[in-house]
Amino acid sequence: MILFYKLLSILIAKNPYIVIFVTLVTILPICSYYIFLPFTFKTDIRRGFAHKNGEAKYEFKVLGDFYNLSVDNIEIIAIIIKGKNKTRLPITFEILSEIERLDHFIQNKTSTYKNETIKLKDIYSPRGTFNFLFDAFKMGYELQKFNHDMSLTLSQNINLSYPNSYIFGHKVFLGSHFFGVRLYNDSLKSHISSIKDVDMCSLWYMLHPNTENHYKMMIDIEKNLFEYFKFNNFSDLINVQIYGDEIANMEMLRGSINTSKMLIFGITGMIIYMLFIFRGISYFTQIILLFGALSSPGFASIISFSIIGWFGISINSMMSITPFLVLGIGVDDAFLIYHCWQKHSMIKNNIKKFSKVIEEVGPSMTITSITNTLAFSIGITSPSSQMSEFCICTAIAVFVDFILEFTIFSPLFLILNTNKKNNNYEESNENGLFIKKKPYYWLSYTNFIISTKGKIIVFFIMIMMYILACFGISSMESTFQPKKTFPQDSELINVFENLDEIYSEYAPVTLMVHSPPNITNKESNRKFMEMIEKLEEFPESWSKERSYVWLRDYEEYFIKNIRNSSKVLSYELVPKFLSDNYMNDKSVVKYTIDNEGNVKLNAFVIVIINHHKRSWHERAYLLSKVRNLINNYPEYNVTAYDYDATIFDLIITVPEEMLKAVLLTIGCMSIVCFAIVPDIIITSIAIISVTSIALTLIGFLGLLGQDLDIVIMVNILMAIGFAVDYAAHISFHYFNIKVKLRNEINYSKINIKHQLIILSKTFSYVGMPMIEAALSTIICMCPLFLIHVPIVKTFAQTVCLVSIIGTIHGLLITPSLLTINFFDNYGNDKKSYMNISTHLKLAVTEDEKSDNTNISDKTVNTDIESKKKQNVIS
């Protein structure tokens, strides 16, 4: 690797202008994507965060086949009606009429696109509106009101109770429309309905636009309704809210745009910080270096967006975070190059100095970029398409930035005058060595690290961190809340709170039965009803009073209407039953009639209603229980459908997916680290540190109120990539300096003096760049905390925490572990624990170095000689 960077540095040093020019010429054609196509965001809260291979994918396909529609374009709109000024809604004729007027207003809402105008009701799915039950209740109420107003006796054929009303013998289930119901508790006074008032009422619409134009008009209608209802201008009696996935997508997009705007503040903060770091050199040079340091990650982000655009991947809302991440990583690499250049400022020959710098920082930058690229590459396997595409975009950007740091930023040091006064070294005329005037400023800190007292303090710090992390991890549960994806000032936050209240009373699970039971066979019918009863026995389920199992009603209908009382129960009256109950157009039962007039059922649906105030985590695992139960009755070929099942699959599988991804990532990181630091002990310590950083990070995220979801999963993978930077940098330089020291003196045992030299020199290489990198990353992330989108804040929290925890590990915990003497003796009678390939690699590397450029080694040698002289004097 050293040889590669030596050749690379010579190539760049001889042709800095050509390297920059060729880079820019190469970049332009790639970025030309935005000349031909506009820069647009695309997001989908339901399908984008859905499990790509979850059971819901099959369940949605079954639903589409059952209703003969494409599930990709299904949209359910919920209308929530509450009283003015947060009051309860009395069930009166005026309120019911106002809700009916609202229903007609929504159905007839229009949109025009390309000279075509449609109404909302024109794009109904075959299920259409779900509000026929409300319409039936309203009709019954009107009839009873007429009797009441005319001082007539209320009809005994109309019973407007709850949850089921009965109108002329037909059962009307109201659990899907009225919530928080209070009934009259007096039996003396006559009431039109037993329902006194409700907390809220809802209307439901299932849409299915068949063309792209209809889809765009549907979005336009939803958007206009959302904006209209926000101002509560529809009625003086009711307040109206609307929810649809496209409205959520619109709000997510608003959050993404706000996030992108905050990039300017991140860049501004980074500029101020970099000007502080670059102080001491000319202002002109500072400006050019600033431009170069920012342009590398900037171009990397643009190139990444262009590449995924050329491959047909849309830019989604999560990708608005990519420039922040790449900016933080890119500036960290720029700091490494800058500090190394200043450290070797005593070398007058720029080409030799540049070669020395690239040889020294190249491996460190490789560790940073390869591990981060690898972490995001593993994130591509995320079950969520939106997170997977985000990882593709970021992985490309990080890798491209790695290249551009060498081809755009580093050549600027050969072109510009970056001289900075440096009083840390003086040149000895006797031998040309650069000797430090005063001890390393890391010396006192190094003494603390290698001391017994220091290790005890580090041990207690680790114990405290792990205790806090355990508390945090224990408080986390596998879940995902869609409201985390859009701004918290959105009206949808209130909408979701109301939807949660609705789900606490009405959370339907639709069961599609594709092999109906043979009801003529008592055993087959009994076993099928046994399955239904078991579903209704779940603690979260309502009793059979609220379930919609049409077979129960059909059996009563059959017994009542069959002329021959001895006739066995069969499906022969199904067509008449559906007609008499106004269910012909509701797609509840699919049947065929053969030439002999026999009715054969092909499939049908039933609905089980669940309740209780439950989190998304609990709702997800309830669906899992339903799936497991129906799988015990394979003869009926039952499929469960829940509109939120795509997200539930994600919640159920996140722990397993995250564990696999984390283990794979750490395994890959181990291979990369060992390839660069071929020492089993040092590499093991680095990996232990990485694992420690990751576990501590998860715990602290739990303490901040985060749960295990797909966002946290990607965050952890990203954090592992970042964590390797802190552990591997210190380990790599410790390993190199340790080997150099071993080659200088034939020691048989590593003592405290040796550790002091190795570790203090290591800190002089990476200590300050590590701190500055952490600070710059935090500064870059700070603007994201001003974005009131939880999913964005989670990323910012993760990056800031891993910067802090990583710095603690890199400067405190990892050095303490490295200075524990696992192998004390290196006498001639014992084999070194380093392998032969390592010796050969180091020998070749040392032979290739020239005396004029090996300043680092000479500094180490000088320190060693000083130590030897002190020992002689003593």
Q: How far apart are CA 714 and CA 376, in angstroms?
A: 8
Q: How confident is the model at residue 859 (pLDDT cuts 50, 70, 90)?
A: very low
- What is the residue-wise DSSP string for 643-681? TTHHHHHHHHHHHHHHHHHHHHHHHHHHHHHHHHS--HH
Q: CA 554 from chain center: how many Å?
A: 47
One-letter amino acid of 732:
F
| Tokens matching residue 361 | 């920082």
Q: How confident is the model at residue 360 (pLDDT cuts 50, 70, 90)?
A: confident
Strands 170-173, 195-198: pairing is unpaired
**Residue 816: half-sphere exposure toward Cβ, Cα within 13 Å:** 22
Residue 698 phi, psi (nearest 5): -60, -45
| Tokens matching residue 251 | 């709000």
Residue 645 phi, psi (nearest 5): -60, -30
- Contacts for 550 with CB less than 8 Å, ≥ 6 apart: 583, 588, 589, 604, 606
Strands 89-90, 75-83: pairing is unpaired
Residue 867 has pLDDT above 50, yes or no: no
Residue 854 has pLDDT above 50, yes or no: no
Q: How far is CA 604 from CA 114, 590, 600, in A?
A: 40, 6, 11
Q: CA 127 from chain center: how many Å?
A: 33
Q: How confident is the model at residue 862 (pLDDT cuts 50, 70, 90)?
A: very low
Q: How far apart are CA 774 and CA 811, in angstroms?
A: 12
* pLDDT at residue 462, rounded to an integer: 93
Alpha-helical regions (H) of 52-199: 55-67, 93-107, 132-149
Q: How confident is the model at residue 189 (pLDDT cuts 50, 70, 90)?
A: low
- Contacts for 390 with CB less than 8 Å, ≥ 6 apart: 316, 318, 319, 321, 322, 379, 714
Per-domain residue ranges of the chain: 1-37+280-420, 75-207+211-250, 438-475+645-822, 499-642
Residue 214 phi, psi (nearest 5): -65, -35
Residue 320 has pLDDT above 90, yes or no: no
| Tokens matching residue 314 | 């849309």
Q: Are 96 and 138 in contact (CB under 8 A)?
A: yes
- C-alpha closest to that of 711 among 448, 511, 480: 480
* pLDDT at residue 282, rounded to an integer: 83
Strands 195-198, 89-90: pairing is antiparallel
* pLDDT at residue 676, rounded to an integer: 78
Q: How far apart are CA 124 and CA 78, in angstroms?
A: 14
Q: How far apart are CA 163 and CA 140, in angstroms?
A: 15
Q: How far apart are CA 47 and CA 386, in angstroms?
A: 8
* pLDDT at residue 603, rounded to an integer: 92
* pLDDT at residue 89, rounded to an integer: 93
Q: How far apart are CA 249 and CA 600, in angstroms?
A: 43
Alpha-helical regions (H) of 677-709: 680-703
Over residues 626-681, the pLDDT tens digits come to: 999 999 999 999 999 988 888 888 888 878 877 888 888 888 878 877 877 888 88
Peptide bond into 163 cis (omega under 30): yes
* Residue given tokens 């050199």 in the structure block: 281
**Residue 131: half-sphere exposure toward Cβ, Cα within 13 Å:** 26
Strands 200-207, 75-83: pairing is antiparallel
For the four alpha carbons of 857, 860, 862 and 864, in that order, the dihedral sign comes to negative
Q: How far apart are CA 141 and CA 163, in angstroms?
A: 15
Q: How far apart are CA 711 and CA 45, in angstroms?
A: 13
Higher pLDDT, 170 or 400: 400
Residue 486 phi, psi (nearest 5): -130, 165
* pLDDT at residue 747, rounded to an integer: 58
| Tokens matching residue 471 | 């508390």
Look over the chain and give the mean of its residue pLDDT values, rounded to a whole number. Answer: 82
10 Å Cβ neighbour count for 276? 10
* pLDDT at residue 565, rounded to an integer: 67
Task: For the domain made up of 438-475+645-822, give the CATH fold.
Answer: Multidrug efflux transporter AcrB transmembrane fold (1.20.1640)
Residue 276 has pLDDT above 60, yes or no: yes
Over residues 20-29, the pLDDT tens digits come to: 999 999 998 8
Mean pLDDT across the stretch 755-773? 83
Higher pLDDT, 79 or 741: 79
Q: How far is CA 47 from CA 158, 249, 482, 827, in A?
A: 44, 11, 12, 64
Residue 113: helix, strand or coil by DSSP?
strand
Burial class (CB in 10 A: 0-12, 13-18, 19+), 53: exposed
Q: How far apart are CA 519 and CA 524, in angstroms?
A: 7
| Tokens matching residue 525 | 């019918």
Over residues 83-130, the pLDDT tens digits come to: 988 889 999 999 999 999 999 999 999 999 888 999 998 988 876 678
Residue 127: helix, strand or coil by DSSP?
strand
Q: How confident is the model at residue 595 (pLDDT cuts 50, 70, 90)?
A: confident
* pLDDT at residue 838, rounded to an integer: 40
Residue 416 has pLDDT above 90, yes or no: no
1-37+280-420 and 438-475+645-822: identical CATH topology: yes
Q: CA 738 from chain center: how many Å?
A: 41
Peptide bond into 634 cis (omega under 30): no
Q: Which of 66-80, 714-728, 752-766, 840-854 has the lowest mean pLDDT?
A: 840-854
* pLDDT at residue 303, rounded to an integer: 93
DSSP 8-state code for residue 198: E
* pLDDT at residue 304, rounded to an integer: 92
| Residue ranges with strand state E in 60-109 | 75-83, 89-90
Degrees to nearest 5, angle at CA 415 with 410 and 347: 80
Q: Are 366 and 1 in contact (CB under 8 A)?
A: yes
DSSP 8-state code for residue 120: G
Q: Are 55 and 332 in contact (CB under 8 A)?
A: no
Over residues 697-714, the pLDDT tens digits come to: 999 999 988 888 777 877
DSSP 8-state code for residue 439: -
Looking at the chain, the whole-number percentage of residues with pLDDT higher than 70 is 89
Q: Which of 166-180, 357-371, 824-838 has the lowest mean pLDDT?
A: 824-838
Q: Are 548 and 173 in contact (CB under 8 A)?
A: yes
Over residues 468-513, the pLDDT tens digits come to: 999 998 888 877 777 787 888 888 888 988 998 998 899 899 999 9
Q: How far apart are CA 278 and CA 326, in angstroms?
A: 21
Which CATH number applies to 1-37+280-420? Answer: 1.20.1640.10
Q: How far is CA 188 from CA 160, 597, 617, 852, in A?
A: 16, 53, 46, 107
Q: Are 241 and 219 in contact (CB under 8 A)?
A: no
Burial class (CB in 10 A: 0-12, 13-18, 19+), 236: exposed
Higher pLDDT, 59 or 846: 59
| Tokens matching residue 260 | 């992108």
* pLDDT at residue 187, rounded to an integer: 56
Q: Which of 683-687, 816-820, 858-862 has the lowest mean pLDDT?
A: 858-862
Residue 429 has pLDDT above 80, yes or no: no
Residue 262: helix, strand or coil by DSSP?
coil
Mean pLDDT across the stretch 550-579? 85
- C-alpha closest to that of 372 among 361, 364, 384, 383: 364
* pLDDT at residue 716, rounded to an integer: 83
Helix (H) or strand (E) holding 159: strand 158-159
Over residues 517-527, the pLDDT tens digits come to: 998 888 998 99
DSSP 8-state code for residue 318: G
Q: How far apart are CA 687 and CA 63, in angstroms?
A: 47
Mean pLDDT across the stretch 735-756? 72
Residue 834 has pLDDT above 50, yes or no: no
Q: How far apart are CA 433 and CA 347, in angstroms?
A: 11
Q: How confident is the model at residue 39 (pLDDT cuts 50, 70, 90)?
A: low
* pLDDT at residue 517, rounded to an integer: 92
**Residue 208: half-sphere exposure toward Cβ, Cα within 13 Å:** 15
Burial class (CB in 10 A: 0-12, 13-18, 19+), 649: buried
Q: How confident is the model at residue 745 (pLDDT cuts 50, 70, 90)?
A: low
| Tokens matching residue 496 | 């979701």
Q: How far apart are CA 45 and CA 752, in angstroms?
A: 58
Radius of gyration of the chain from its Cα atoms, rounded to whole angstroms = 35
10 Å Cβ neighbour count for 697? 26
Q: Which of 136-140, 347-351, 397-401, 482-486 has the lowest mean pLDDT?
A: 482-486
| Tokens matching residue 544 | 């059979």
Q: Are 173 and 88 in contact (CB under 8 A)?
A: no
* pLDDT at residue 847, rounded to an integer: 36
